[in-house]
Amino acid sequence: MTADLGFDGKVAIVTGAGGGLGREHALEFARRGARVVVNDLGGAVDGSGGSVTAAEAVVAEIEALGGEAVANGDSVATEAGGKAIVQSAIDAFDRVDIIVNNAGILRDKTFHKMTDAELSAVIDVHLKGAFYVTMPAWTLFREQGYGRVINTSSNSGLTGNFGQANYGAAKMGLVGFTRVLAAEGAKYNIKVNAIAPVAKTRMTEDLLGPMADTLNPEFVTPVVVYLAHESCETTGSVYSAAGGTIARYFIGLTQGTHRGADITAETVRDDWDAINDETDYIVPGGPADEFGKLMKQWNA
């Protein structure tokens, strides 16, 4: 198969690219001709510590392949860090076209034991980190009438995983972020999507059990590369990527029931099965689609 999805002239920022999934994304963008900012704080899975050597090692790998990249060791979790990451792309390559918000940490704890520090650390890196890195690039994207953002969500938020209230909320927050930015970026040719990966990395190697060896992180990268390509028109969607399987997650709305002014707690109880019935559900592209469905029900 020929590799016809090229990135010549494009500049990609991949956060948390010193290892795991981010490293695979960065290497593949570089193989396909993009110039890459390899960002990584270089800390432990829980976010403690830090060193730019992880990012530098991936830059060395890219250079060995004949690609172009620069290392950046700033944290995504502060506004200053986000600005510095985008500035390093401008300083080195004079532009930014693609952002992959991938940096992440874990502070798993059941909800009744969770501390404010465990909540804040996870929200700051995953959710606020995506804001901080994307914000300074957004103005450039609007000006140049082009941009691609890929956020890294997780089935922990989309489906709810025990012991990860902080992480699941951050990852589901990224779905809202993705959908709002998709709406705001539409007229500027800025496409914003998310992935929900499953892969064997240092973050998950103790959790995946016997399936781990089929969940190669490089099998997640192709959907990221496609979503980052200028030929991809999709925006506002979330893709599951695991072991070479790609599928779409979506938010559906059931037809439900309409009682108008006669609605009471008792009619809700009586209608419960119909309210939850998935027959003829819709997948709203935005609030207007929900209003369109309501208008039909009200006028029926």
Binding site for ligand NAD (CB under 6 A): 15-16, 18-22, 39-43, 45, 47, 54, 75-77, 102-105, 125, 129, 152, 154, 197-199, 201-204
The residue among 146 and 181 lying less far from ligand NAD, judged by its C-beta, is 181
Of 76 and 150, the one with the shorter C-beta distance to ligand NAD is: 76
**Closer of 87 and 204 to ligand NAD (Cβ):** 204
Q: Which of 132, 146, 167, 239 is catalytic?
A: 167
Phi/psi at 13 (5° precision):
-105, 125
Minimum distance, C-beta of residue 131 to ligand NAD, in the bound complex (Å)? 13
Structure tokens at 25: 């994304």
Q: Count Cβ atoms below 10 Å from residue 113 Cβ, excluding itself.
A: 8
Alpha helices, DSSP H only, in the chain?
20-31, 53-64, 79-93, 116-122, 129-144, 155, 165-185, 221-228, 265-276, 287-299
CB of 213 to ligand NAD, least distance (A): 13
| Among 290, 207, 203, CA closest to 252 | 290
**Buried residues in 252-277 as b, exposed as e (16+ CB within 10 A):** eeebebeeeeeeeeeeeeebeeeeee
CB 246 within 8 A of CB 226: no
In the complex with ligand NAD, the residue whose CB is nearer, 146 or 197, is: 197
Q: Does the annotation count 167 as an active-site position?
A: yes
Q: Which residues pair with 240 in a beta bridge?
A: 196, 247
Least distance to ligand NAD from the beta carbon of 24, Å? 8
Task: Compute the distance between CA of residue 179 and CA of residue 175 in angstroms, rounded to an integer.
Answer: 6
Q: To the nearest whole angstrom, how small is the minimum distance from the Cβ of residue 267 to ligand NAD?
A: 40
Q: Catalytic amino acids?
A: 167
